[in-house]
Amino acid sequence: MDFWTRLKKEIKAKNTTQEWIAGKIGVPFGTFRKWMTRKTYPNVKMGQEIAGLLGTTVDYLLTGLEPEYLNDAEQKLMEAYRKLSPTDKVNVMIAVNAWAQKKGSVLPENCSDGDCSDAVK
């Protein structure tokens, strides 16, 4: 499961809507919709606001793991990842997905079909 799938799942689980979240964080729904369809990406601040509204964390949305379950090295990696530009984040995810597939494994949560190549588009 990727970031976007977890985000959609959290929105549904909290019985809210994309329109409500867009209004709460002060962005036009069209902008939020572009994020949800992976045409553009929210910045870290917006990601944190969205996670906060949903009662979760950006770490969870990105990795599927709650922060308290990450060891020190993993937490440092997440901190470094958060500081990257959106383009660099996409490049990191592409590289990690390629490596995981080459090793015959998947990222933190199993992808439903064993292929995580759609984690970043």
User: What are the tens digits of pLDDT across the range 96-121?
Assistant: 778 877 776 555 443 333 333 444 33
pTM above 0.85, yes or no: no
Class of domain 3-119: mainly alpha
For residue 58, give the amino acid letter: V
Domain boundaries, the chain: 3-119
pLDDT tens track for 13-33: 989 999 999 999 999 999 999
Sequence-separated contacts (24+) of 37-43 with Cβ below 8 Å: 38/4, 38/121, 41/86, 41/89, 41/90, 43/86
